[in-house]
Structure 1
Amino acid sequence: MPVWRRRGRVLSAVLLVVVAGLCLRHFGYRIGLSFFTVKYGGSLLWGTMVYLLVRMFLIAASRYRIATVAEMVAITVELVRLIHTPWLDAFRDTLFGALLLGKVFSLWNIFAYSLGIVLAMSLERWFLSKKL
């Protein structure tokens, strides 16, 4: 399959995950989902999105390399939450900043990101085995 087509499929998956995350965030409580499901489901989807974005840029790399880079990105973003400067806190106070960087450091978020990365890796393997 040509590289541009693979990247297009990955981009489609990224958009699907982003829409799922936004729907979870917007409708989760309204449909009766628990705080745990909304909070950590969003973190799981964020980890999945990071894996897919790394895959888009490193299209030929192995799943394990993609997962390693995605995990490093996710942990770095979580650690950045420990840094507080006026401009960074102002960015975090915007909707985009809150969705992209979050506000509060949590080891549980890192765990949820890791699960999302493993989920993305597993789904990628499954889709490739089906020749979709």
Structure 2
Amino acid sequence: MREIVQTRSQVRFLRLAALLVVIALGLALRRSGYALDLPFVVVKYGGSALWGAMVYLLVTLFVARSRPAGIAVMALVIAISVELFRLYHTPWLDAFRLTTAGALLLGRIFSLWNMLAYAIGIAAACAFDPGRWTVMHLRR
């Protein structure tokens, strides 16, 4: 029993560390991607894929005992909902979207391509989820 509790704590720590790495990579890509002469597609949709991975990792921190596929579906629903929310406009919301925090959290312009990038990021995060690998290791 103690091993399971310790393993869950380790998984939670690894997921939190992965979340922080993904956030740092996403911010670095948005800030320096063009300065590094990275292609537009890499900067734009790489950031969206990392945002999707971030959503997946956030969801894992709250519903850690769910199956990875279920977590991925929840994360995709959240990501698509945020993207669809971009179609809703009010003056105060549009003003918030013009801030750095608003652009990073909510985005500015609706794009179907972003949804694909989110799905790719969520799938990658699910595939490399530290919790998934730890559970597979314990079953052996």
TM over 0.5: yes
Deviates more, 1:117-126 or 1:57-66: 117-126
Mapped to 1, the partners of 2:18 and 2:129 lie a distance apart of 10
How do residues 48-87 of structure 1 correspond to structure 2 at under 5 angstroms?
48-87=53-92
38, 49, 53: which is aligned to 1:44? Answer: 49
Q: State the 4+ residue runs in structure 1 displaced beyond 3 angstroms.
A: 125-131
* TM-score, normalisation: structure 2: 0.88
Deviates more, 1:1-10 or 1:74-83: 1-10
From the CA coordinates, give the structure whose radius of gyration is larger.
2
Identity %: 50
82, 89, 95: which is aligned to 2:100? Answer: 95
RMSD over aligned CA atoms reads 1.6
Mapped contact 2:55–2:75 kept (Cα < 8 A) = yes
Mapped contact 2:48–2:118 kept (Cα < 8 A) = yes
Distance 1:130 1:31, change over 3 A: farther
* TM-score, normalisation: structure 1: 0.93
Mapped contact 2:15–2:129 kept (Cα < 8 A) = no
Unaligned residue ranges in structure 1 (runs of 5+): none
Deviations 1:55-111 (A, max 9, x none): 000011000110010000000000000000011111101101100100000000000
Mapped contact 2:59–2:74 kept (Cα < 8 A) = yes
Q: How many residues align?
A: 131
Shift of residue 4, structure 1, vs aligned partner: 3.5
Deviations 1:13-61 (A, max 9, x none): 1100000001111111111101111000000000000000000000110
3, 9, 14: which is aligned to 1:4? Answer: 9
Shift of residue 130, structure 1, vs aligned partner: 6.2
